[in-house]
Amino acid sequence: MSVIRKIVFVVLFLAVAVGSFCGITTIAGRIGNRGSGERAVAQEKSATASPTPTTSGSQPLLDRTGDSDVALRDDVAITDLAEKALSSIVQVVSEVTRTDIFGRPTQGTSQGSGIILSQDENLIYVATNYHVIEAADSVTVIFPDGSDVRFTVRGSDEVGDLAILTAPRASIPEAAAASYRVAELAADKDPAVGEMVIAVGNALGYGTSVTVGFVSAVEREVLSENGTAQYLIQTDAAINPGNSGGALINLKGEVIGINSAKYTAEAVEGMGFAIPIAQALPILNELSRAESFPKEEAGYLGVYITTVTSEMETYYGWPKGVYVNSVIPGGSAEAAGILPGDIILAVNDIRVMENSQLTGRVTSYRSGTEIRLRISRISDGERTEIELPVTLMDKTRMPED
């Protein structure tokens, strides 16, 4: 009996062991299959989920509507914006006489862009960069339909890198007149970092084209070749030679800046710059009313000045502007009541932040012209802003230093 009991015990033991092994194997298999199933479901969800970023409770920022079409919020398409913008952009071709290394005159061409800024009963006004028309013998504007018309430089500002071109409306061919529209300006709106923008212009002289990007920075201080500071919009929308004078527009089709390839460099990618339209418009309005006069008839202020640097702003608490070191006795400034220690902030509401900007603004007016200066002055131990009218003298009437 003991032998039989031992045999039965061994058989039962083996049965339990085999059953346990099979159970474990079955459970493990189910666990493995469940994991594979979950991974498969996750992969399927991943494959079907939209990669487009969304805002909580709102529609996608971008909806892809086709292989080459991207529609924006509120059903605004880049193609529609581009078509709208292109109708207010022109090509600007300047004929320039230069001198070669042997002193011989040579003919050259400068190409850029322009924005149809406004028109009245008699004239059409086109805004562009100063460096596009600098030293030009003649300037031709090419309209969206391909018609070319000779324009005149009405006024220019080297410091602000801006110029106004005009032509009689009667000189515009009928086809050209039907092809353009006056640009819409966002002069009362500040661009925001991260805002999508479109750059339009005559890149490399190939004709008007469109690039898309975002506002990377605002009020970016950039120095020109002559050391003049400009406070510009920085964008990663491509801005190349020929784009200068073209428009940087927002998603409403409004011009927020005037592109300038003057501030680009070959070693830099993804950094284009535009002059804010709110900064440019007061200057352009002044230039549109400008009159031509000989250089010797330019107005003079009669002050010795210093640019207020960032260090001075921090150390003394001064506003950014032009500090008056001293006033020439008998000059325009003294007659107007300008004092040493004053800081000149603006000329006719156009902001000035350094010496060359103040000098450039003042000498753009003929002597005898009355201008308005906005000044920061110490009063009762505190700085306050005042406005002073100043009648400019010409250099020959200014007292000797």
Active site residues: 131, 161, 244
Amino acid at 307: T
How far, in whole angstroms, is CA 40 from its chain's centroid?
Answer: 48
- Looking up tokens 């060359």, which residue turns up? 356
Q: How many CB atoms lie within 10 A of CB 233?
A: 28
CB 257 within 8 A of CB 274: yes
Alpha-carbon distances, residue 175 vs 117, 145, 147, 183 (angstroms): 19, 7, 8, 18
Q: Quick one: how far is CA 255 from the chain centroid?
A: 9
Amino acid (one-letter) located at 130: Y
How buried is residue 126: exposed, middle or buried, by Cβ count under 10 Å (0-12/13-18/19+)?
Answer: buried
What spatial distance separates the first Cα and last Cα of the chain, rounded to whole Å?
138
Is 390 in a helix, a strand, or coil?
strand
Task: Give phi and psi for 303, each to the nearest 5.
Answer: -140, 155
Name the residue with tokens 């940087």. Answer: 248
DSSP, res 60: B
Token pair for 143: 């309209």
Distance of alpha carbon 265 from the chain centroid: 16
CA-to-CA distance for 297 and 216, rounded, in angstroms? 43
Quote the DSSP letter at residue 318: P
**CA-based R_g, the chain, Å:** 34
